Each structure stands twice: as structure tokens, then as C-alpha cells.
Amino acid sequence: MGSIPTESLFSELSDIPLDSHYALKEEFSADPAPKKVILGSGIYRDGNGMPWVLPTVKEAEDIVDNIGDPGRYDYLQIAGSAAFYTAARDLLFGRVDTKVESIVSVQAVSGTGANSLGARFLSESLKPSAVWLSNPSWVNHANIWSLVGVEVKYYPYWDAEKRLLDFENMIKTLESHTKPGDVIVLHGCAHNPTGVDPTKDQWKTIADVCQRRGLFPFFDNAYQGFASGDLDEDAWALRHFAGRENMELAAAQSFSKNMGLYGERVGALHILTASPDAASKVKGHVLRIQRGQVSQPPRRGATLATTILTNGKLFQKWLLDLREMSSRIKDMRKALHDELVALGTPGDWGHILTQIGMFSYTGLSPAQVEHLRSEGHVYILASGRISVPGLNPGNVKYVAAAIDKAVRGGLA
């Protein structure tokens, strides 16, 4: 018999630090300060700082529960609920009757699952030399693409000095450094983490570059209706790309934010191909990967989303919920901006108002962020990104005062 090993077979593994978002939560929880604020994760809160269950979701729950479907715990198909992913597709793409047979849609485990499923498929089928992410981008994008073995590269996006989109350098980089077949990840609206979106004319230029350079666009759509309060406005960029001749693309879609279904993990992956024949082939490969990763996606959240999307009266009520959430976020942006201006906080804070959606890139330095945590007990990411819905009438003055002190402390 061989000797029993004295060390773990995993002892040579490197240490992987906890994801920054969850590390922030742990640090916040451990802080004994009686008054503290966390503006980290992208979760919508109401005016009292509490999680908000959308009224339309409550109604959908009652409808679903009263039906008492005996198959409510049965497996879905590998592609998920056809009623759900069809309604989700129409919400995102609009009515595209002439192209519907060329779009492959499957239910996914929220936006992360859709991104992951799409990345796995595209890495195998297109074999891109690189995937191009905005600098900065959602923290999980690089992780997802690294896990499928695709080199991650970045295009300029945030101009830290001017606190706006670095569009000129973005286009220069895409024109000069990308290769045909490369994938470019684009945020459909409410860019995470900066809150800065291209204008419609800029989106058209980006589409031109993608076609000219042979890039494959992969849209991440986590905030439709949650950014501007208008579903069609927030889908404009993707629909413009999809409306171009011979433009193929992928889109990850999430209902975590716009329906508040965070824990239900409701999402979809859509792939627009050049022909129905191509779509048939794509679907087979996507379902093979889905089968190997999750077999079938979960049922209840998709059932709730489908109920809202397909019930005319409930859908109209949902539009009001979206406007309420987006309006409160805009109000909190203005409140924070106005408090900083009233305090005379050094610097120009106008970018807080011009950014859109759940997040704001404040422009605070890592040292200033550390001051916020240690002295003000206000917890935000080291990048200076804040989750605006975490602000409310009861804490916005406190947060603004803490920012003011960090900036005046001369920390750069």
C-alpha cells in the first residue's frame, strides 16, 4: 500500500480573494458603527432603504399560486419556457416578424447565465482571438470569458479626468487593434459601472466599426426599462444593430433589476443569425452546452415574468413600476448632487446628473473611498462606483457630508 498523503492535493492552489462586492458586504456587516451606509451591490431599494417587491410581481404571484398548476414543479425543456423566452425576445428586439426565424432564444440562469452560455458557445464556434470589454466593465465579464479560455482585452471607455465617455479613443482602439471574428461586449443601456452611455449617433458609429472590422457584438441587457423608464428607449441600441443588413449578434437579458426578481435568476440568451438554417445549427449547439451546464433552467421566476409580459393589464402596471423605480433613482442623483453643491464640495459633480441607471462613477480615488469607509462608514467599491438606489432621504445628507470630508481631506 502507498503512504497516506500528509498534505491536501489542493495545497498548491493559489489564494483567490473574495469577489470585491461580497468582500464589501462582509466589511460593512462587521462594522459596529451605529450609523453606516452601503452603496455597493446593484439592488434596488425603496425610499426607506428596504428591498422593494414590485406590486406587479405580487399580483403575478397571486395569479400563479391561484392556478395551482400540477406541473409547476416539473422539469422545463432544455431551452426553458418557450412562452417566457418568446415574450422576452419580443420585449428586447421588438416585433421582428421578418427575422424571427433567424433568432435563437433560450431561457438562462439570469444575466450571468446568459453571458456564460453565450461566451461558451461563441468561444467554441467563432474561436475569437480576443473578447473586447469596456474599461471598466461589469466585474464578472472578464471572469466569464477567462473561464472559457478567450483572451480578454479592453477598449477605452471612461475618461477619468473629464468624467465622461472616452469615445474617440474607444473608436481608435477598435479600428486599429481588433481582428475579424473578435467578440465585443456592449452594454445595451445604463453602462455598469459608469452610468455613461453612448449617444445614438455614437452607437451608429460603433455599429459601423463592428461591420467594417468583422466584430461580433454581444449585448448585455440588464436594465431595460430600469434606466430611462422607457422599454423601447433602453432597447434602441440593440435594435439598431439588429436592424442592419447581415448583422449577426448575441444578447444576454436579465429580469433581476427591472422586475426585482434577483433571487429567482430569470434571464435569456438570444442569438441573431443571418438565416433560419444558421439559427437551427446554432440552437443545437447552444442546447448541448445548456444540457451539460444546468440541464434545464428554473421554472417559477420565468412563470412570474411570463405572466407579467403576457397579461395586458399587468404589463401596463409594470410600466408604472418601472417609471417609479427609474424616477426615484433620478431623484436620488439630483439629491446627492445638490447636497454636494450646497456643501461646496471641491470639484464638478455634474456628471452624477448626466449618468443614467443604477450606478454612478463618482470619480473618487481609492484613497478617498478608504476615507469614506474608515471615517464616514460609507461603503462603496474602490473604483468609486456607487449604487444610487442605496441612497434615500434618510441617508443622502450623511453620504454627501462623508464625501465632502474625504475630498477636502486632500486625499488623491
In a domain, 220, yes or no: yes
Assess whether 306 and 174 both reside in one domain: yes
Assess whether 186 and 93 both reside in one domain: yes
Question: Could you confirm whether 220 is annotated as catalytic?
Answer: yes
In a domain, 317, yes or no: no
Question: Could you confirm whether 162 is annotated as catalytic?
Answer: no
Assess whether 218 and 362 both reside in one domain: no
Assess whether 42 and 169 both reside in one domain: no
Write the CATH number for 45. Answer: 3.90.1150.10
Domain of residue 169, residue span: 75-310
Calpha distance 113→294 (Å, rounded): 10
Q: Are 47 and 166 in contact (CB under 8 A)?
A: no
Q: Identify the active-site residue in 166, 182, 197, 220.
A: 220
Assess whether 297 and 187 both reside in one domain: yes
Q: Identify the active-site residue in 145, 197, 257, 404.
A: 257
In a domain, 319, yes or no: no
User: Grid coordinates 430600469 are at which residue?
Assistant: 226
Assess whether 209 and 304 both reside in one domain: yes
Q: Please give the pLDDT value at position 67.
A: 87
In a domain, 123, yes or no: yes
Q: Please give the pLDDT value at position 410.
A: 56
Per-residue cell: 285 = 449547439
Q: Please give the pLDDT value at position 408.
A: 87
CB-based burial label for 11 (10 Å; 0-12, 13-18, 19+): exposed
Q: Identify the active-site residue in 52, 132, 138, 203.
A: 138
Which of 310, 337, 365 represents a domain boundary (last residue)?
310
In a domain, 362, yes or no: yes
Q: Please give the pLDDT value at position 412.
A: 46
Please report, for residues 115, 386, 397, the alpha-carbon distance to residue 43 in angstroms, rounded to integers and kept in the order given: 19, 11, 21
Assess whether 46 and 155 both reside in one domain: no
CB-based burial label for 112 (10 Å; 0-12, 13-18, 19+): buried
Per-residue cell: 250 = 448575441
Assess whether 145 and 168 both reside in one domain: yes
Buried b / exposed e over 265-279, threshold 16 CB at 10 Å, is: bbbbbbbbbeeeeeb
In a domain, 60, yes or no: no
N-term to C-term CA, the chain: 62
Per-residue cell: 54 = 414590485
Question: Could you confirm whether 19 is annotated as catalytic?
Answer: no
Which of 310, 335, 352 represents a domain boundary (last residue)?
310
Assess whether 293 and 210 both reside in one domain: yes
Q: Are 393 and 47 in contact (CB under 8 A)?
A: yes
Tens of pLDDT along the chain (412 residues)? 566 667 888 888 898 887 777 888 888 888 898 898 999 877 888 888 888 999 999 999 999 999 888 888 899 999 999 999 999 999 999 976 668 899 999 999 999 999 999 999 999 999 999 999 999 999 899 999 999 999 999 999 999 888 899 999 999 999 999 999 999 999 999 999 999 999 999 999 999 999 999 999 999 999 999 888 999 999 999 999 999 988 999 999 999 999 999 999 999 999 999 999 999 999 999 999 999 999 999 999 999 999 999 999 999 999 999 999 999 999 999 999 999 999 999 999 999 999 998 999 998 999 999 999 999 999 999 889 999 999 999 999 999 999 999 998 854 4
Q: Taking the CB of residue 343, how many other CB atoms lie within 10 A of it?
A: 16
Which of 257, 286, 310 represents a domain boundary (last residue)?
310
Assess whether 352 and 277 both reside in one domain: no
Q: Please give the pLDDT value at position 226.
A: 84
Strands 164-165 and 158-159, how do they pair?
antiparallel
In a domain, 390, yes or no: yes
Assess whether 237 and 290 both reside in one domain: yes
Assess whether 161 and 81 both reside in one domain: yes
Q: Please give the pLDDT value at position 98.
A: 67
User: Grid coordinates 421566476 are at which residue?
Assistant: 301
In a domain, 1, yes or no: no
Please give the tally of structural domains in the chain.
2
Q: Which amino acid is at 1?
A: M
Write the CATH number for 293. Answer: 3.40.640.10
